[in-house]
A and B are shown apart, each in its own frame.
Chain A
Amino acid sequence: MKTPLTYVLMRSVIALLVLGLFALLGAGLAGTGPWSPLAAGTEDLVDLFQTLLSSGVWQ
């Protein structure tokens, strides 16, 4: 049973698109690419968390 070429093509396109989306997300978190503003947002979130930990009531 030979899988049709169209199936292989469609699957490849879908998988590449998904991986590409996550690659863009990763690049954005690293501060590059079209989604680079994500990096600043993430840094703000981490800073907030660290601030809460260092100045919180826990200490």
Chain B
Amino acid sequence: MAKLIGYLIGVAAGLAALGGYLYGSYLLLVQVLLPFLLGTVLLGVFLGLVLGVASVITSYWTAPRDLSPQEYREGRTMVGAKDPGPDLAWPLYGLAQARRDIERCWTTAATAGERPWKLSSRSFFGGDWQLWWFFWPIPVLVLLMLSVMSLTSVVVSIVLTAVALLVSTVVTVGQVLVAGVLRSVEWGWQRAVRAEASCPYCYYVSRRPAYRCRSCSELHRDVRPGRLGVLSRRCDCGALHPTTVWRAEGHFPAVCQRCGSGLEGGAATVRDVRVSIFGDVSAGKTRFLYAALDALALLAKRSGLPFSHPTEEARREAERALHVIRSGGDTAKTSPGSLPTALTCSIGKGPSRALVHLFDAAGEQYGDGGLHDSLGFLHSSRCLVFVIDPFSVAAVRDRALGANPAAVQAASPAAGDVEFLYTGVVRRIRDSGVKSRDQRLALVVSKADLLAASGIDVPSESDAIADWLTGLGLHNVVLSARQDFAEVRFFAVHSTAGACAEPSRAADEAIRWVLTASGIRLPASVKEVSPA
């Protein structure tokens, strides 16, 4: 009986406790949960806004994380690629940094919002969690508030993402359009005037030179408006550099893309003309070069055209050359041991200005098959000058020896075979992929003054000279030249300064034709221009 009573009391107590709990829960529901529901939601919204805005401020103002130029380069360079990737400069904001800032905002909001969730999780679901759930409306309210907070911060981040994408897209589209226009103008100009960057040392020709930052010596290989800046770019070291070859030229030094040697002012901004002079040993190549330089200097002086040498080295070499040719001195033998450095001169002004590179290698190098691949200037020249020593032809030499042995001795005749040298050089140029229609040839018969002294008369007209050479047995050279090149012109020149040469024998005619064929507009010839 007592046991039954005890059991009943126990049941009653249990029911009372359950009732009390349910009543308590009802009170909590009605008195706590429902009245505070709106406040809880509003509090969650407020905290979410604070969290979201704080994330925006942190990510965009107080502690942004920049994508450095190195990181950008690594991200755009394939592993194992030979291409070094983009230059070390800061990319446009919209192309790389915008995405990183958006991600940073989301990460910051998530990290900050995670803390109260972890705290609540430990309290409500770990340790003494049962006690909390005895007062279940309270955990429900807290979790509801956190949910609303997280949801609100997500909404803030979504709004930020939309705004950031919109602004970045609008700005980037504008930048891309401006960059496209600038690129097109630069490309059009370079095509129109055939502006290129050619290295006088390694003979590499590129659309534009590289530029070396004065602060950190970092190379900027592509200064076109683009991913790294539209009007200007900021180097990794912080220095600001302009884009486009025109503005870059006056800002920092231009260097060769391949060997890093300094390039002349005007590289890739003005017409770039490369003239290669080839021929046998002692054919008179260097003498012709000096005479041509003299003719150019004279022409420029008389016609008022600016004529200069962009580098100190070129200026010294030109002064030496002019001294030799004007004083009638002997020309030193070109060193066969080293590859030639171009003798560069600048002629003209403004848009019609041109850089003329004259290449003259020792004759031995044209006969050396191994060295030939190093003579890259032959391939990139639009106009070639082939110098023929008439005294290397047995018929001429024999006749001259009979008439004036001193003239033959002064001529120091070339010993090689003209046809063999011509064929070897031209075949290798064509083998390298240069098409015949891209090049013109001036075929120059040198030492015309010594021929005259020997009583041998050389015609002055191009076709007549060709016939004269044909009559000497060089018909294969004449015929091949006309087939191998887009245009061929024959000249016979004196090995003297322009002022001393006969008008029809001056190197002026030959170099004028060569430069005109390369697109340079020149005034009338030296003889026709009235002295200043």
Contact = CB atoms under 8 A, between A and B. Distances in A.
A binds B: yes
Interface of A: 1-4, 6-7, 10-15, 17-19, 21-22, 46, 49, 53, 58-59
A59 B29 CA distance: 11
Interface in B1-42: 29-30, 34-35, 37-38
B159 A21 contact: yes
Interface centre among A2, A14, A53, by most chain B C-beta atoms within 10 angstroms, is A14
Interface residues of B, number: 33
A14 B163 contact: yes
A14 B93 CA distance: 12
B523 interface: no
B272 to A, nearest CB: 34
A10 B168 CA distance: 8
A15 B31 CA distance: 42
Contacts of B156: 18, 22
B60 A11 contact: yes
B160 A14 contact: yes
B157 to A, nearest CB: 10
A53 B35 CA distance: 8
B164 A14 contact: yes
B85 interface: no
B238 A58 contact: no
Given A14-B163, A19-B56, A7 B61 contact: no
B34 A53 contact: yes
Contact of B29 (A7, A15, A46, A58): A58
Contact of B60 (A14, A21, A59): A14
Given A7-B97, A10-B98, A18 B29 contact: no
A12 B61 contact: yes
Given A15-B56, A19-B53, A53-B34, A3 B66 contact: yes
17 contacts: A2-B238, A7-B64, A7-B66, A7-B90, A10-B93, A10-B94, A12-B61, A14-B101, A18-B53, A18-B163, A19-B53, A19-B56, A21-B163, A22-B53, A22-B156, A49-B38, A53-B34
